[in-house]
A and B are shown apart, each in its own frame.
Chain A
């Protein structure tokens, strides 16, 4: 038999023996009524708490709950010693008579994790212990039971001097107790409200019986302070003890409910995973199993050394988001994912691990999907970067042309025009100069078109609306621009829209024999919707010629789609949709 188990058996034997002594003391007590009822309640509290406490201790050896429940049981039996006719035993009983309440406060605030989580909780427990030990002892040394309403009580062995201080201390103890109990009920209610569904389920019976107990205790203290009828005080005390006697079973019930809830969750999870399903089903199943609707799954991509979400987007889990914790899940020693869940679930690590283990195989399969999506996302991002870099290079090239050759040609033109004015009287020279100026004009115009084709500076400087209107003005076919977005768009999107419209207008003029073209660009539901339609002969095919195909690739690089509808004789419609956050 293991050491811990032997200790628990010894503790059980001690509780049995102490209970038997307490029973004898209560039944033999000469200074109280309702001895039978008190005897039964003392045993119910003492043995009830130690019995259930030992059970919890064996099942959750790392938790403080078992030892605390046993302590409450022993404190209940200790309290019974106040029924003794013997002065020494009576005094010992009186010294620990109210310790049970501090232990109950400690136990309730620790449930179900076994830990006090906040400074407030630790403070309340410290005050409760101070009130029930230090102040209890301080009051006792000034209390003479015979002169405090208990004529048949034995003498107080600790009495130094009977003093009014005893009343003052007792009143202070009651005030402190009422304040602490009120705060404890509020904290317990908050635990119940903010816990995960599994915790709330475990907490419900404890909160119900604990609240009744504390409400009875507060009422009893208030009645005691008001020195109301002794009948009422007696009835309240019996009701309070009966309520305390029910508490261990409420704790046990709560823990069993939590275990049942966990088993049910895992069984339901296994069932749901067995049913298969698409993306998101696993997350939903885990969220339901762990009672955390906001749960997220992070899949490990070993090649990139990062976690990604189901869509393949990078996900940071170290440090986890506020209020969350990340529990890594492994399968056959290989890291496959992490469950990012509510921090409250840290109290149930075994549940998270069990649920993760149950889902490990499915997680591994989903991880492969997520890994693939991450690679696709990386490719998409890299294509987008290449297109963006292309735009930047075009922009720079256009600027270089504008700042270099174009300006020199412009200056040359001015100089030549000046020379022409000065040689009015030499017809041959003037003829030659006119021809040179004409050549220069052609070169300038071609260079301007070339620069505009590389990158339209007007787009950068004045935006899409001005650039599209410029295209419309230069088009040989009449163009109506019906709509353009009011705000500026990212440069890569503006450039893609511009070049799609430019290509569509060129095609409408060159091949479609169109009479009119309409252009519409609108921002709706987070995307840019572009439509260019003409009333020409139709029959355009994106697979013939590289213009439209190249534009489809540009639009696709921005995660968009471009469609061409061009039935013979029904005109041509080019539509594109580009996501635009």
Chain B
């Protein structure tokens, strides 16, 4: 079954590329958000199965958004964190956030996401 996805990133060019990539990979992109507050609202309304979530957002950081999404009532989405930084900059924070995993933006592909969410 096609997975529904919410893309959260403050850069429109990245969101557009990610949408193309996900749709080509068989995902259904149900929404986009450009900051943490918008992401929480969209996740509540759209109930996506997967959230592609940038770590560096203008208001809340991605770890905090992930924590709140997973704590919210209702079915929790799977969350894949992305960043233009590499994993050495993020350290233990990815594991602590409860997200399914992390993919650097420079290596982002539908296959890399599929490996993480199983």
Contact = CB atoms under 8 A, between A and B. Distances in A.
Interface stretch (A44-52, A100-108, A119-127, A457-465): A457-465
Contacts of B108: 410, 413-414
Contacts of B45: none
Contacts of A565: none
Interface string B8-23: 0011011011101100
B74 interface: no
Interface of B: 10-11, 13-14, 16-18, 20-21, 24, 56, 61, 84-86, 88-93, 105-106, 108-109
A414 B85 contact: no
Interface of A is mostly: helix
A222 to B, nearest CB: 78
Given A403-B11, A408-B13, A469 B84 contact: no
A421 interface: yes
B21 A417 contact: yes
Contacts of A406: 84
Nearest to B61: A461
Contacts of A408: 13
A406 B20 CA distance: 19
B16 A411 contact: yes
B93 A441 contact: no
A146 to B, nearest CB: 100
Nearest to A447: B84
Interface string A444-472: 11001000100011100110001001100
Contacts of B17: 410-412, 414-415, 418
Most buried by A among B16, B17, B21, B89: B89
A444 B20 contact: no
A402 interface: yes
Given A414-B21, A415-B20, A418-B24, A473 B88 contact: yes
A5 B93 CA distance: 91
12 contacts: A403-B10, A407-B13, A408-B13, A411-B16, A414-B17, A414-B20, A415-B17, A421-B24, A448-B84, A456-B89, A457-B85, A470-B88
- Residue from A413, A441, A474 having most chain B Cβ neighbours under 10 A: A413
Nearest to A413: B106
Given A402-B56, A448-B84, A470 B91 contact: yes
B11 A407 contact: yes
A444 B20 CA distance: 21
Contacts of B91: 466, 469-470, 473
Main SS at interface, chain B: helix
Contacts of B93: 462, 466
A237 B69 CA distance: 92
Interface in A372-415: 402-403, 406-415
A562 to B, nearest CB: 26
Nearest to B108: A414
A490 B110 CA distance: 41
A344 to B, nearest CB: 57
A431 to B, nearest CB: 19
Q: Which of B13, B16, B17, B56 has the most CB of A within 10 A?
A: B17
A402 B84 CA distance: 8
Interface in A460-513: 461-462, 466, 469-470, 473-474
Nearest to B109: A417
Given A418-B24, A448-B86, A470-B88, A410 B105 contact: yes
A458 B55 CA distance: 11
> Interface extent on A, as a size class?
20 to 34
Nearest to A443: B106
Contact of A410 (B24, B56, B84, B109): B84
A470 B86 CA distance: 10
Nearest to A399: B56
Contacts of B20: 414-415, 418
A448 B83 CA distance: 11
Interface string A206-234: 00000000000000000000000000000
A55 B18 CA distance: 100
A504 to B, nearest CB: 18
A411 to B, nearest CB: 4
B61 A444 contact: no
A407 B84 contact: yes
Given A417-B21, A458-B90, 15 more contacts: A402-B56, A403-B11, A407-B11, A410-B84, A410-B108, A411-B11, A414-B109, A417-B109, A444-B84, A444-B106, A445-B106, A461-B61, A462-B93, A466-B91, A470-B90
Contacts of A440: 106
A410 B85 contact: no
A474 B84 contact: no
A121 B90 CA distance: 71
Contacts of B21: 414, 417-418
Nearest to A408: B13
B87 to A, nearest CB: 8
Nearest to B15: A411
B38 to A, nearest CB: 17
Contact of B89 (A411, A421, A445, A458): A458
B106 A410 contact: yes
Nearest to B62: A461
Contacts of A421: 24
A470 B115 CA distance: 25
A444 B84 CA distance: 9
Contacts of B10: 403
Contacts of B16: 411
A316 B116 CA distance: 63
Contacts of B90: 458, 466, 470
B85 A448 contact: yes
